[in-house]
Structure formats: C-alpha cells, structure tokens
Structure 1
Amino acid sequence: MLLADAVFLAAASLLPRRAPCPIAGPTAEVDGDEEEAGCSVGYPMVLVQIPMYNEREVYKLSIEAACGMWWPSDRVIVQVLDDSTDPTVKDLVELECKFWANNGKNVKYEVRNNRTGYKAGALKQGMLYEYVQQCDFVAVFDADFQPEPDFLVRTVPYLVHNPRIALVQARWEFVNPKEFLMTRIQKMTLDYHFKVEQEAGSSTFGFFGFNGTAGVWRTSSIKEAGGWEDRTTVEDMDLAVRAGLKGWKFIYVGDVKVKSELPSNLKAYRRQQHRWTCGAANLFRKMGAEIILTKEVSLWRKLYLIYSFFFIRKVVAHVVPFMLYCVIIPLSVLIPEVTVPVWGVVYIPTTITLLYAIRNPSSIHFIPFWILFENVMSFHRTKATFIGLLELGNVNEWVVTEKLGRTKPVPQMLEKPRCRFWDRWPAGRFVSPLFLRNFHQVLAAGADSNACTCLHAPCRVILISHEILLDSIYER
C-alpha cells in the first residue's frame, strides 16, 4: 500500500505545472506616486492575517515582511491577531503595529480576552471584524514566516482568473536547514511533502491539505466551508477538507517560496509532530463518514480523500514503519519461528526510500541518518496516531513551536573544515599554563641577576595577562 501510493505520488508530481496568470496593473513595487495616480485600480482587496502567541523573537520579522509586500496600501489590510499572555510582548507587538501604521500601512492590531480555540479561534475571530467584509482574499502567515515582496503579485492572479480556485499554497523555504543534522532531516521530509505530495494533489484532484501558512484563500470559500473550526489541532487541514467537499479547487505553486524556521531542538520538533499527526488522525475519525456521504464531489475524489490522503498517509505511513522496524524485525531476530520475507524487509522499503531520496539529490548522502531518525520518530507518530483515532486524553494538546528568530541562513555546521589533530588535542591547554608558570618562576628567581632584570618586567606582564585569559576560558 505504501509503495503503490509512493509510486502514484511520484508520477503525478511530474505532470506539467500551471503557468502563472498576469494581473491587471503593474507587477512590481507600487510607490506612493502611482497610488495617488490611481494605479491601484484592478487590484482586489486582500487581508493578511498573522496569528501570534508570545512571539518575542519573530514578531518583527513577520510584520515587516507583510508590510513590505508589493501591493497598493489602500488595497491590503495587515491584521495582527495577538493572543500573547506576556504583557511585555503584547506591548512590543502593538508598538510595532503602530510604527507601520504611522508609515502609511493599514495595520490592525487585534487581541482577545482568552485563547479559546488557539490559532483557529484567533483566525475565526479575525474574520468577524467589519472591515474584513470588503476583502476578497485572505493570506495567512505564521509568526515566523517572511513572505517575499512579490508574494501577492505571484499568487493572487490564480484566484482572480479562476473563480473555482479557493486556495493558492506556496512552498516553505528554511533559513536554518544546515544548522544541525536534525534540521537537515526535517528539510528532507518537508521537501518531499511539498515537491511530491502537494504537487501531486494539485495536479490530479486539485486538492491537498492546507499547510496553515504561506497560502492565500478566497474569502467566499472560507465562508461556504463553514469558517475556521477548533475541533482538532489541524484547523488548516480541517478547513481544506471541508472546502474540498464543497467542490473548491486548490493550486500549489512550488516556485513561490516563503522563508520560515525549522525547530532547532528535539523537544520542539516532537511536540510539533505530535500536534500534526494526532490532529490529522482525529480529523479522519470525525470526517470519515462526512466524506463518504457527501454528494458534491465525485467518487474518485472521495476515494482519494479516504484512502490515499487520510488512511495511507495519516495512519498507515506512521504505524507500518514502527511495527516493521521496531517490532517485527527485532522479533524475527530473537524468535527463530518468526520470519520476514526479503521483499518485505529489503526490496519494498528500499524502493520507497529511493523515491524519497530522488527528490533530494543534494542530501542523498544523509539518507542513512534520515532512515534512523524517521524510525525513531515513528514511535512518537504511532502513539500520536492512536491518540487521535481513539480521542484519548491529550488529543487537543496545543504547544506553540519554539522559535529563535532566524533572519539569515546559519553557518553550515556539518560542513566545517576539519581541524588539525593538535588543534583538537586538549593537552596543550594544560601544558601551556604549566610551562608558562614554571618559566615565570625561573624569571622571578633570577630577578636579581643583571641578565634577567631587563626581561623580568615585560615578561611578567605578558605572563599575568596570559594566565588571566586562560582562567577566564576555563571558567567559561
């Protein structure tokens, strides 16, 4: 089942891509003189939503990027939805919004009295304000996402020229993929998701799961689908499935990339994966019957949603690797009566791995580490899958992924030039001060001699400075 789905996705992702459509008016940065001359005619009204929660490290990045997009100032509203509980952070975000408002940008700073529904609740509340009714499209960005200035120019035309398109999804780009081995592996997994899964869904059935950010929605499609719901931790996928069942089409544009940040520690990554995996399985439980009974989409699209999108990718893809590599194969080693056919333990897993690797040629040498890491994570994803399917205790647990506010690509730590052996050998750190202290004692003992008097003072200063430096290094 996994192999057949992987082959189907790989083949479908290679289908020809759609060419972008031009939009009325200039397709470059719009300055103040052009706006005064009426050049904003033909531009639809766009709402940019940025949900936040105590985002001290990244709030400036997202607001600045949203306000810097090429779109007439009178045709775009930047809405900052701040659920922060830290008063200092709230003051900083509000101050940043006022700064851009004073610079001619239409920025709205909105807060709630509670965090009901988390991100979904904030987005739902944001759609209720009166000024949103004039907006034709809604762009959503998480707090660590930094769209390029031409983002709206390259995505909105799809919605303008095709009234049946509800969503245009852009690709994620990362500012810290080479920071650690773990971030490299995350990039490999997400690159496959975007290059293969999202591209295949867009090319075949015009449907894929919204990634929750870096996308533009048609406002009317959100309303027709029932708006944002907080019944699971994947409110983005929930909205996408409901809109898909209403017959709306989605488009993925892989050439439009939005910078974001990968989790830099295992704890944050595990929590993120738990939220995504558990939420998807729980949504499958809640919407399975609705997908089967709906009459507004074709049978093939229903089959794709139930079998490929949900059952294979959200359940089987997590449970099977864990059962195979962590249960069955170890039992076959310990218990001679348990045998595993070669095709099940070698041929099929190898083929699936190659289908993953072929879309990441620059990282193919990290495939062994990717396999080991994914097998370890399969335990946590399997646990989250059953929590979602059975609706156990922490099924709706929501923990915001920790961010560090990366603005530029970090140094390539895994590609540092090799140090010389004697640079790594720590003995020099101990030999050097011992030698210097002995040399200092020799000079001190011979201070009365004429030969050492002229050298004693400057050498003493150098030695003391060197000892202070070494002591500070050891303390650190």
Structure 2
Amino acid sequence: MIGSSTIYGTFLTYEMIWKRQELVNAECDKWARKGINIMSEIRDNRIGYKAGALKAGMMHNYVKQCEFVAIFDADFQPDPDFLERTIPFLIHNHEISLVQCRWKFVNANECLMTRMQEMSLNYHFVAEQESGSSIHAFFGFNGTAGVWRIAALNEAGGWKDRTTVEDMDLAVRACLHGWKFVYVHDVEVKNELPSTFKAYRFQQHRWSCGPANLWRKMTMEILQNKKVSAWKKLYLIYNFFFIRKIVVHIFTFVFYCLILPTTVLFPELQVPKWATVYFPTTITILNAIATPRSLHLLVFWILFENVMSMHRTKATFIGLLEAGRVNEWVVTEKLGDTLKSKLIGKATTKLYTRFGQRLNWRELVVGLYIFFCGCYDFAYGGSYFYVYLFLQSCAFFVAGVGYIGTFVPTV
C-alpha cells in the first residue's frame, strides 16, 4: 500500500513529524516480526508533490512483484478487511483497473462547515460515482481509498505531475486505454474533513483549478485517441470536464451572485422561473436525498455553496488560463483529535485579533453588492426577492470575517 504523507504546515513541528515516523516504523517492525512482508518508505523532497510521491513509490523493486496497489491519504483509516473486500473485484474481472471506495467522515458533526462539506461530497458520491459505476460509465478517481491494477496504471503512463489533480489525470488516461472502474458503496474508509475555512479554501482551489487545467491539456489527447468511441470522447470532453468541472462553478457564481441580484436594479429584466425556482429546487432535492439527516440544513448549504462558487470560479479561470497559482499545492490541514485538543487549549487569542487575521475582502465586497441590491429591492421592488438577497449577503459577510469553521489560534 502507498500512503501520500500529509504535512500540517505550522501545526506540526519537526519533532512531531519525527515521532510520527518512529510510530510508523515501529508498527512495520511489529508486523515484520510476524512474517508479514511490510516496510515504510519516505522520500527527502516534494518534487511533483503527491504525484511525485506516488511515482517514487512505484519505482521500488519490490513493486514489480505486486499486481495491485492500494492508495490512502495520511488521514484515511481503512478497516482490516479492506483488501479482502476490494481485491476480488480485480481478480474476477480483468477489465477492471480501479476499485474506488466510499469516504466516511469522522468529524462531520464538528461544525456547520463540515456538515456542508458532507452534504456536497455525499452528493458527489451518489450522483457521479455510484451512478456512473452502475451504468458502466466513466467516473473519476478520488485520489485515495482506492485500489489500482498496476498493469493498467503502467499502461496508462503512470502518475504525472502536470496538474494538481494527478488522480483524475490517471483515471482519464486509463479510460482512454479501455479500462473500466467500479465504485463500492459498502466499503467505507474513515477520514477527516478540513474544519478550518482557510484549509477548505485551499482544498477547493486545487479541486477546481486542477480539472480546468487538465481539460485544457487533455482535450486534444482525448480527441486523437483511437481506442474509444466518439461518444465516450464527447462524454469526457463535454459532460465530465466542461459541464461538471467548469460551467457549473462559473454559472453558479455569475448567475446567482451577480446576475440575479443585478436584475432588481433593472425592472424590465425578467428571469424565467425555471432558472430561479425550478432548477435550484431540483438540485436541492437531489442533494437532500444523498444526506437525508441534514435536510434541515439545505438553506445553509445553498448559501454556503454560492459563497464557495466565487473561489471555485476564480480557480477555474486560473486553471484555464494557466495563471499564477495554477500549480499551487497547499496540503489540506487536518487537525485530528489529539492536535485539536492541544490547539483548543491555547485558544486565548482575543476576538479583535482573530477578525484582523481572518478578513476576506472578496467575500465582503460581493456581500456588500448583494446587500445593496437587497436594499434596493426592499425599497422599490414589487416582490420578496430581497429575502434571498439579504440571506445571501449575510452568508458572504460571515465568510468575509472568517466566522465559519473551527477556530484555531495562530500560536
């Protein structure tokens, strides 16, 4: 198994990292004494980031004796029977190259922001991966909690670090070589959601910028491929990449956070109900199905997703244009129970200091504009549209002052 090591930035000291490595080595030694062929490897650089780490791991001589590789991020905790429940799919069907498993979030109830993330990711698993697997269609690799057939991985060209979504890159190339994937809903792997707003923003930047940049780099590669049908090429280029990874982000922000608020300033503009009511309601209901326990939080989810669409839109354009932060790789900070308890014990920073460190001017600017449109509609409009505008502006203000997620002291 290969695990991509996570470094927690300022939260982990060199001493803590060294102790963690000692614990890993001790665990490997324990199993080695029982006759299990196990070892721990670590590289001394960050070249290529996660793709570079995975590529380096696959270059060890003992990998040549293996048929499959299981991949986990550092905060993922697979059950002892993980391989027993996933490897049979690969053994009994030689057309399958990837077994992707579901994520189970151990800190989903930590704060409102983690609840929102759980809703979005559950919808992703159901709407994209489970539905895609059930009809034998393509779906992306999540980068962790999965098992790859090494022969398929090598045939597809191995790990590449040309974008920050090496997992999606590999999955698309494997698909172009005719390999199939399967998603196993019943096999859950415990992991942690980012619980600070700063960490979540960095994660969403990478998840939005990377696919847009990959679409730019792979479109001609997909079109020139002769092993897949024209229909699959169209699906990959238009449906999977263009609609899901680009249009959705831009449309959500531009339409619901800019165009709709602006219409109250021009009464002659009439937006059809399907765009303002029917379409959003349908998406909301579908999202509720994926996480029924959070049905009462749907309004908060809509407002929060609209706020995050601003960051995703910005990241998407950076990826399309290959601008400054296109290859930025900031490891997503996961606090963990032990580290979190230590930090909370130090949480004596005064409120005004926190505000100064957490101000996000982009959210504040957009929030002010939407609030202005809401006031105009309240004074001169003939509907109750200002209710949505005031709620949405409040969501931007809350994110603008950083009053969201888990608070972590800076010392």
Same fold (TM over 0.5): yes
Tell me, in whole angstroms, the C-alpha distance in 1 between the residues paired with 2:133 and 2:154. 22
1:96 aligns with 2:23: yes
Displacement of 1:360 in angstroms is 2.1
Note the alpha carbon deviations across 1:45-85, whole angstroms, 9 max, x for none: xxx00121435999xxxxxxxxxxxxxxxxxxxxxxxxx9x
Is the contact made by 1:172 and 1:259 (CA closer than 8 Å) also made in structure 2?
A: yes
Tell me, in whole angstroms, the C-alpha distance in 1 between the residues paired with 2:272 and 2:282. 15
1:239 aligns with 2:170: yes
Change (3 A) 1:406 1:164: farther
Note the alpha carbon deviations across 1:315-355, whole angstroms, 9 max, x for none: 11101111111111111011223321222211122122212
Query: Where does residue 207 of structure 1 map in the other structure?
Result: 138
Displacement of 1:247 in angstroms is 0.4
Is the contact made by 2:8 and 2:331 (CA closer than 8 Å) also made in structure 1?
A: no
Aligned residues: 335
Displacement of 1:405 in angstroms is 1.8
Change (3 A) 1:90 1:342: closer
Query: Where does residue 322 of structure 1 map in the other structure?
Result: 253
Give the 3-state SS of the residue equivalent to 2:187 in structure 1.
strand
Give the 3-state SS of the residue equivalent to 1:257 in structure 2.
strand
Amino acid at match of 1:239: L
Structure possessing the higher radius of gyration over alpha carbons: 1
Alignment match of 1:331 (pick from 262, 285, 305): 262
Note the alpha carbon deviations across 1:161-212, whole angstroms, 9 max, x for none: 0111000000000101111111111000000111221012212244211000
1:196 aligns with 2:123: no
Gaps (5+ residues) in structure 2? 342-411
Q: Taking every aligned residue pair, what percent have the same amino acid on both sides? A: 62
Is the contact made by 2:116 and 2:301 (CA closer than 8 Å) also made in structure 1?
A: yes
Is the contact made by 1:205 and 1:301 (CA closer than 8 Å) also made in structure 2?
A: no
Relative to structure 2, which stretch is displaced further, 97-106 or 48-57?
Answer: 48-57
1:173 aligns with 2:104: yes
Is the contact made by 2:6 and 2:73 (CA closer than 8 Å) also made in structure 1?
A: no
1:186 aligns with 2:113: no
Counting only pairs closer than 5 Å after superposition, residues 25-424 of structure 1 correspond to structure 2 as 48-54=1-7, 87-105=14-32, 106-406=37-337
Tell me, in whole angstroms, the C-alpha distance in 1 between the residues paired with 2:75 and 2:285. 32
Note the alpha carbon deviations across 1:86-141, whole angstroms, 9 max, x for none: 64245323322331233133432323232110010010011001011101100000
Tell me, in whole angstroms, the C-alpha distance in 1 between the residues paired with 2:173 and 2:22. 37
Displacement of 1:292 in angstroms is 1.5
Root mean square deviation of aligned Cα: 1.9
Question: TM-score, length-normalised on structure 2?
Answer: 0.78
Amino acid at match of 1:100: E
Query: Where does residue 369 of structure 2 map in the other structure?
Result: none
Question: TM-score, length-normalised on structure 1?
Answer: 0.68
Return structure 1 stretches of 4+ with deviation > 4 angstroms. Answer: 55-58
Amino acid at match of 1:144: D
Give the 3-state SS of the residue equivalent to 1:216 in structure 2.
strand
Give the 3-state SS of the residue equivalent to 2:97 in structure 1.
strand
Amino acid at match of 1:290: E
Is the contact made by 2:51 and 2:159 (CA closer than 8 Å) also made in structure 1?
A: yes
Tell me, in whole angstroms, the C-alpha distance in 2 between the residues paired with 1:57 and 1:196. 36
Is the contact made by 1:322 and 1:382 (CA closer than 8 Å) also made in structure 2?
A: yes
